[in-house]
Chains A and B, each alone.
Chain A
Amino acid sequence: MTLHDLRLSRRNLLGAAGALSATAFLAACGGAGGGSAAAASQLDIYSWADYFAQDNLTAFTTASGITPKITTYDSNDTLSAKLNSAAGTGFDLVVPTSGWITEYASRDLVQKIDHSRLNLSTLDPSLLDRAYDPHNQYSVPKDWGLQGVIYDPRAVGGDITTWQNFLDAGERPGVQGKIRLSGSGWENVGVALWADGKDWNTTDQSVIRAGGDRMKDWVTRTKPQFTSSNVDPIVNGSIVLAIHDQAGARRAIEQNPALRWSVPGPTSQLWVDSYAIPKDAPHLDAVYSFLNYELTEKAQITDTRFLGYPTALAGLRGKLPPGIDNVDLIFGGAGVDLSKLTTFVVNPDTIPVYQEIQTELHALS
């Protein structure tokens, strides 16, 4: 053994010792805080913010003795990144949007639903057994929404019934710069793809890129904003043309009845936020007990009124109590045909393309 080797091995040893002590230290850190044995009456939900009516949560706690603890995410991307990381273990229930279920199932991040412990027969059949999760092996629908457009008809000069209308309206002088697109790449590229009669679930990257190029040209001229945050700027007229879901539209129109909402053709997005159970969920009994409670008619109606999105209960529209403002809008407006709409399915091969285009759209706006 030469002197050189000796030094090297000593360095390795030191490195190993350092890593070891760091491990021991960090392990001590985590153990003291999070690793303790979980109580039986616990339920850890990772969900969108304000996504469960407080009345439901309170009633469930009274009935079961379980207090659900809810932590929140801002996007499916955040949920996905979290589930994929060390910080993602320990959740009992998550609420991803439809398209991500396939990806989670294929990566083994979620477990199969035990249908013997749940009764889905009260739910709307049109929301069950869809392409992203055949036979609802991994998911149970919670509520659904649509990708549509909120607009000021005076500013855009008429009605918007197709995505081509939307693109044309954006080029008008009073509309440029007062537009809001979605924060998600596929929802924005989808606009161009649908206007051209294409499918956003295509695996052909050149089709996606062509749609992306069309949007990039459009964005360069029309200078939209992107944050999908609150509807205040739409209400006060700073934004006159915005991609939004129906719940936001309902809030905006309640404050400014001159605004209109439409789901442009030939097709648009239907998303279904769905319950899914992470692979190693520690409190399975609590999960099923909570799901059974949430699927009761009373809870479904309460959540619908709280959220402004319709839950999955069959015949929900007829079961809502009278006197709710703009009740049509909760269901996306009168005359929306769900069978004509399309649901995005996350594909690891095309996601980076959509993300890249979205980044470029931001840069060009």
Chain B
Amino acid sequence: MTRLRSTRAALGVVCALGLAVLYLPLLLSVLYSFNQGIDGRQTARLTGWSLRAYADAWQDDSLRSAALTGLQVALVVAAVSGLLGSAWGYAMVRHASARVRRALAGLGYLLVIMPEVVLAVSLLQFAGRLGVPLGFLTLAAAHTPMTMVVVALIVRARVLTLDRRLEDAGRDLGASELRILGDIVVPALLPAVLTGTVLAFTFSFDDVVISAFLTTPSVSTLPVYLYSSLNYGTAPAVYAATTAVLALTIVVLGIAGLLHRATTVT
């Protein structure tokens, strides 16, 4: 029993260290959002405290609309890839036809090994040759292959560990396919689906490469803005905008967590 406890303690320490490494850069970026910088540019040296970056970020229409557009795109992407990606991940394992299963899995592998820049340029060329006007929905659509495959693979890993006999038992008892899906499969897959959907959101919200190619005069995102400012010194306002988005996320997730607890307790 003491060995079990020491194993657990060791694992806990690794986990804590991992979290520390994940959070160190994040905390630094928050810290630097209060840094004055020099000549309107961020500097590694802390040159003095100021809230000016937040005011600047708020005033900057382009920055604000980029952040807002990015959030909207990411929400659409998360919803679409949550639905289609889960269906895909499930069908990859459970579809009756081996050929369909193989085709779906093959599509997934192909997407995983697809460099983002290739995906972006192919879509851009494709849209250009078809004369499709680009905008909000084309940007969102362009994110979906990458994010769907993330959801699909995570859901797939879960379906593989799911006991098939449960579904068969339901079928034997005369339940419709829809009921089996709703009562047995979906509840079991839900954690995986949610994790995948959250990942899809962050992928989309943070994507640089695909977005850089598909943004238009009216639709641009925060990472594209940030990427373009890297070479010539970043404005502290970008740090402020990023920190604000993060704070907003924490608040939203916190409320969601509390609601979840409230509904499960009652």
Contacts and interface: CB of A to CB of B under 8 A. Distances in A.
Direct contact of A and B (CB under 8 A): yes
Interface of A: 19, 22-23, 26-35, 44, 46, 48-50, 54, 57-58, 67-75, 78, 85-87, 89-92, 183, 227-232, 235-236, 247-248, 250-251, 254-255, 306, 308
Interface stretch (B9-17, B41-49, B250-258): B41-49
17 contacts: A26-B130, A29-B132, A29-B135, A31-B133, A44-B217, A54-B60, A57-B61, A73-B228, A78-B228, A85-B213, A86-B124, A90-B216, A90-B217, A90-B218, A227-B231, A228-B231, A255-B43
Nearest to A46: B217
A227 B230 CA distance: 9
Given A54-B59, A69-B218, A232-B44, A30 B228 contact: no
Given A23-B132, A33-B219, A86-B124, A230 B227 contact: no
B124 A87 contact: yes
Interface in B10-43: 38-43
B230 A74 contact: yes
From B125, B136, B227, B228, residue with most partner A Cβ within 10 Å: B228
Given A30-B133, A90-B217, 6 more contacts: A27-B130, A69-B62, A229-B233, A232-B45, A235-B45, A250-B39
Nearest to B40: A306
A19 B214 CA distance: 21
B229 A236 contact: no
Interface in B43-72: 43-45, 56, 59-62, 65-66
B50 to A, nearest CB: 15
A322 to B, nearest CB: 17
Given A33-B138, A254-B39, A71 B233 contact: no
Given A251-B38, A255-B45, A34 B62 contact: no
Contact of B228 (A34, A49, A227): A49
B235 A49 contact: yes
B40 A29 contact: no
Given A87-B214, A232-B43, A32 B234 contact: no
A34 B219 contact: yes
Contacts of B228: 48-49, 72-74, 78
A215 to B, nearest CB: 21
Contacts of A44: 217-218
A45 B234 CA distance: 19
B134 A86 contact: yes
B215 A74 contact: no
Interface in B130-144: 130-139, 141
Contact of A85 (B128, B130, B132, B138): B128
Contacts of B216: 34, 71, 87, 89-90
A89 B39 CA distance: 34
B225 interface: yes
B68 to A, nearest CB: 12
Contact of B135 (A30, A54, A69, A254): A30
Nearest to A232: B44
Nearest to A228: B231
A171 B235 CA distance: 35
A196 B60 CA distance: 46
B233 A34 contact: no
B231 A183 contact: yes
B29 to A, nearest CB: 14
Nearest to A49: B229
A58 B59 contact: yes
A242 B50 CA distance: 31
Given A48-B232, A251-B39, A22 B130 contact: yes
A228 B128 CA distance: 32
B248 interface: no
Given A34-B133, A49-B229, A87-B124, A71 B62 contact: yes
Nearest to B137: A29
A81 to B, nearest CB: 8
A97 B32 CA distance: 31
Contacts of A57: 61
A29 B231 contact: no
Interface string B216-250: 11111000110111111111000000000000000
Contacts of A306: 40
Interface string B109-153: 000000000000000110110111111111101000000000000
A13 B15 CA distance: 57
Nearest to B213: A87
A105 to B, nearest CB: 21
Contacts of B45: 232, 235, 255
B207 to A, nearest CB: 15
B180 interface: no
Contacts of B130: 19, 22-23, 26-27
